[in-house]
Amino acid sequence: MQVRLVVIFAVTIFLLKIIYKDQLITSGENKAKIRSLNPVDAIKDTIILKKSLSVIGLVIIGFVTRQYLGLESATVALAGTALLLLLTREDPDEILHTVEWTTLFFFIGLFILVGGLEKVGIIENMARQAVALTHGNLTATTVLILWFSAIALAFVDNIPFVATFIPLIKEIGAISHMSIAPLWWALSLGACLGGNGTIVGASANVIVSGMSAREGHPITFLGYMKVAFPLMLVSIAISTVYLLVFFL
């Protein structure tokens, strides 16, 4: 798996260098400015930094153990936020002004939309129709799940989509008695890499695009997609070869 990731990373960097070759050239003066930057200078308060790292550590532990504690991820995150506010005694008004509200409300709308699609059965129907096309053939089903999940998850949230596919994959294994390990890998790769295709495909894409717009460099949906979507397709093609060679 690590070899596949290294190959995808190397191919993506190579293609990005070709796409942006004219924009990757800079002056010696700018290079000198970057070399002169000291990350330590960005730290304004070491005490707050230590408190923040401690709370982040506790939140990570909370995420790992939440299923044993009976807690939701949101509860753990909000508890960490409240604890950090108490420890730092920062003014909440100032902090709230720095929150990416546009991004947050975008996610709220996206989750409502995807939740609606899930509730009325559209996502499940799409998944069942996609699997039915292969007539139980393991290779065809694996490739279809990989590509279908990657393309679909470039536009919708991955949580309900993956949750829909999990019982379907289990059902395929129960009915056909074939090894479904390749199907799990196909779903994992498609869900992971498909989100790179569009801005809305992954949370990180939305957050970074919001930060970029705030700094005066807006990234449009189509502008991002025309570069990222073909790169995503290349990564899925590499994953297809990987699955065919090592699992099928």
**pLDDT, the chain, mean:** 81
Question: What are the residues whose beta carbons fall under 8 Å from the beta carbon of 115, sequence distance 6 or more?
Answer: 160
Looking at residue 161, its pLDDT comes to: 67
Closest alpha carbon to 130 in 150, 154, 148, 156 = 148
Tell me which of 126 and 148 has the higher pLDDT. 148
Look up residue 20 and give its two tokens: 């942006």
φ/ψ (deg, to 5) at 216: 90, 15
Question: What are the residues whose beta carbons fall under 8 Å from the beta carbon of 34, sequence distance 6 or more?
Answer: none
Indicate whether 61 pLDDT > 90. yes
Mean pLDDT of 213-220: 85
Question: What are the residues whose beta carbons fall under 8 Å from the beta carbon of 66, sequence distance 6 or more?
Answer: 72, 73, 75, 76
CB atoms within 10 A of CB 8: 21
Rounded Cα gap, residues 156 and 195, in angstroms:
9
The pTM assigned to this predicted structure is: 0.67
Q: What is the pLDDT of residues 98-115, one digit of tens each?
A: 777 777 787 778 778 777
Rounded Cα gap, residues 53 and 75, in angstroms:
19
Contact 143, 240 (CB under 8 A): yes
Rounded Cα gap, residues 19 and 44, in angstroms:
38
Rounded Cα gap, residues 26 and 237, in angstroms:
33
Indicate whether 159 pLDDT > 80. no
* DSSP labels, 70-138: T--HHHHHHHHHHHHHHHH---HHHHHHTS-HHHHHHHHHHHHHHHHHHHTTHHHHHHHHHHHTTTT-H
Tell me which of 127 and 31 has the higher pLDDT. 31
